[in-house]
């Protein structure tokens, strides 16, 4: 099996601003920031003229639209932020960007050393950080089908081969060893003209024995523990 140094590979074409889960789980090691962790965005709200200022440790930059075909094309992901989820002896890189209308997330590699991981997203659209998974919060999971629900985790009966409301890369992990998501902000209930912070957690799991989450030590059942991320509103 081909084995690569994933972040080094990504660095070649993304300028990989990798931040490990260990680096981002607390505020205390901000001094080791690569620069990408400490970010803020500001934009004028066209309707009110009130500056929209969002600050977060992790920023999701604005970029190109992507084709969620499982191939991490450097052109579609140029400038994206990358975070890493350590998994056993390796790590899964998660690539984050948006195109003004969709939140775009790529996971790679997902199959390493005989372990096949499936990607999951947890999104708190208003970043209201409830203690329990709330009615507004989203769960997404892709394996050979697309699974997702608002207000409920592990809503397996709703899994379908191709959900028309959002895009990902269902199916067995192919040679590209990646899954990409493109999820409309309109579906999530995110309006970039009035809001630029969301709560986010990222997880990979084989659904049986292995599950690792970013930020490290966050709990998928507790949005209050998820990362606050800023959405670049410069588009
Ligand atoms: Ca792609
Ligand atoms: Ca919420």
Per the domain annotation, does 44 fall within a domain?
Answer: yes
Residues with C-beta atoms within 5 A of ion ligand 2? 124, 128, 134, 136-137
In a domain, 113, yes or no: yes
Read off φ and ψ for residue 122, nearest 5 degrees: -130, 120
Cα–Cα distance measured from residue 222 to residue 220, given in angstroms and rounded to the nearest whole number? 6
Tell me: the pLDDT tens digits for 177-220? 999 999 999 999 999 999 899 999 999 999 999 999 999 999 99
- CA–centroid distance, 180 to ligand 1, in Å, is 7
Q: Does 102 reside within a domain?
A: yes
Report how many domains make up the chain: 1
Nearest ligand, CA 179: 1
| Distance from the alpha carbon of residue 169 to the mean position of ligand 1, in angstroms | 9
Q: The domain spanning residue 120 has which CATH number?
A: 2.60.40.1190
Compute, in angstroms, the gap from residue 45 CA to the centroid of ligand 2. Answer: 23
Distance 182 CA to ligand 1 centre (A): 10
Share above pLDDT 70 across residues of the chain, in percent, rounded to a whole number: 76
122 lies in some domain: yes
Letter string b/e over residues 1-25, b meaning 16 or more CB atoms within 10 A of that residue's CB: eeeeebbeebeeebebbbbebebbb
Range of the domain at 89: 6-231
Residue at 117 is within a domain? yes
Q: Residue 44: its pLDDT value, please?
A: 46
Q: pLDDT tens track of the chain, all 235 residues?
A: 333 334 444 544 454 444 444 444 434 333 333 344 444 444 444 455 566 777 788 999 999 999 999 999 999 999 999 999 999 989 999 999 999 999 999 999 999 888 899 999 999 999 999 999 999 999 999 999 999 999 999 999 999 999 999 999 998 666 669 999 999 999 999 999 998 999 999 999 999 999 999 999 999 999 999 999 999 988 7
Of the listed ligands, the closest to the CA of 127 is 2
Q: Cα of 12 to ligand 1 centre, how many Å?
A: 17
Q: What's this model's pTM, rounded to 2 decimal places?
A: 0.81
Instruction: Give the number of the ligand closest to the Cα of residue 69.
Output: 1
Q: What pLDDT sits at residue 45?
A: 45
Task: Looking at the CA of 105, name the nearest ligand.
Answer: 1
Residue 1 lies in a domain: no
178 belongs to a structural domain:
yes
**Residue 109 in domain:** yes
List CB-based neighbours of ion ligand 1 within 5 Å: 67, 69, 71, 73, 180
Ligand nearest to the CA of 199: 2
């Amino acid at each position: 099996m081909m084995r690569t140094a994933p972040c080094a590979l990504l660095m070649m074409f993304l300028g990989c601003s990798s931040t490990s889960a260990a680096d981002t789980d607390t505020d205390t090691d901000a001094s080791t920031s690569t620069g990408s962790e400490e970010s803020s965005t500001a934009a004028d709200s066209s309707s009110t003229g009130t500056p929209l200022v969002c600050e977060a440790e992790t920023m999701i930059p604005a970029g190109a639209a992507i084709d969620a075909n499982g191939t991490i094309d450097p052109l579609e992901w140029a400038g994206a932020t990358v975070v890493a989820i350590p998994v056993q002896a390796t790590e899964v890189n998660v690539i984050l960007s948006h195109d003004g209308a969709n939140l775009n997330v790529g996971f790679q590699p997902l199959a390493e050393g005989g372990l096949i991981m499936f990607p999951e997203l947890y999104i708190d659209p208003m970043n209201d950080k409830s203690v329990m998974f709330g009615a507004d919060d989203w769960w997404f999971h892709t394996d050979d089908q697309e699974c997702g629900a608002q207000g409920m985790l592990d809503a397996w009966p709703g899994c379908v081969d191709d959900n028309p409301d959002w895009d990902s890369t269902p199916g067995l992990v192919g040679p590209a060893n990646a899954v990409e998501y493109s999820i409309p902000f309109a579906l999530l209930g995110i309006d970039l003209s009035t809001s630029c912070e969301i709560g986010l957690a990222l997880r990979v799991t084989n659904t049986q024995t292995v599950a690792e989450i970013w930020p490290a030590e966050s709990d998928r059942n507790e949005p209050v523990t998820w990362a606050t991320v800023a959405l670049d509103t410069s588009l």
